[in-house]
Amino acid sequence: MKYWYRYFAVLSGGYIYFYSTHQSVYPETYFYLKNAVINLNTEDDQENSLTMINCNGEICSLALNTVKSQNEWEEAISAQVF
C-alpha cells in the first residue's frame, strides 16, 4: 500500500528538498537527482504524478495537483538531472 505525505518542495542544486511546512527552516528529507530517470505515472490512481529513480537506485514519487504543475515540475527536474 502506498501512502502519500504532503510536503513543500524546493528544487535546488541537483536536489529536491522536502519541507513539512512552508515556514520550515530545515528539510525533512531530500532526493538527489544525479542521473535520475523520470517516469510519468499514467495509472488513474496516480494521476498528475512523477516517479524518479536516481543513480543510487533510490525512488521518489511526486504527486501534483494539476497537469500544468506536473509538466512544470518535470521540465524543471529534467534541467537539474546531470
> What is the set of domains in the chain, with CATH numbers?
8-80 (2.30.29.30)
The answer to whether 50 touches 39, Cβ cutoff 8 Å, is yes
Name the grid cell of 74: 518535470
pLDDT tens per residue, range 20-66: 999 999 999 999 999 999 998 877 667 889 999 999 999 999 999 99
pLDDT score at 11: 96
pLDDT higher for 44 or 76? 76
pLDDT score at 45: 67
Compute and round to an integer the Cα radius of gyration of the chain: 12
pLDDT score at 46: 75
What are φ and ψ of residue 75, in 5° steps?
Answer: -65, -45
Interval 62-82 mean pLDDT:
91
pLDDT score at 33: 95
Which pairs from 3-6 meet CB under 8 Å and 24+ separation?
Answer: 4/63
Measure the CA–CA gap between 8 and 24, rounded to whole angstroms.
Answer: 9
- 7: Cα within 13 Å, side-chain hemisphere: 20
Taking the alpha carbons of 69, 43, 17, 76 in that order, is the dihedral positive or negative? Answer: negative
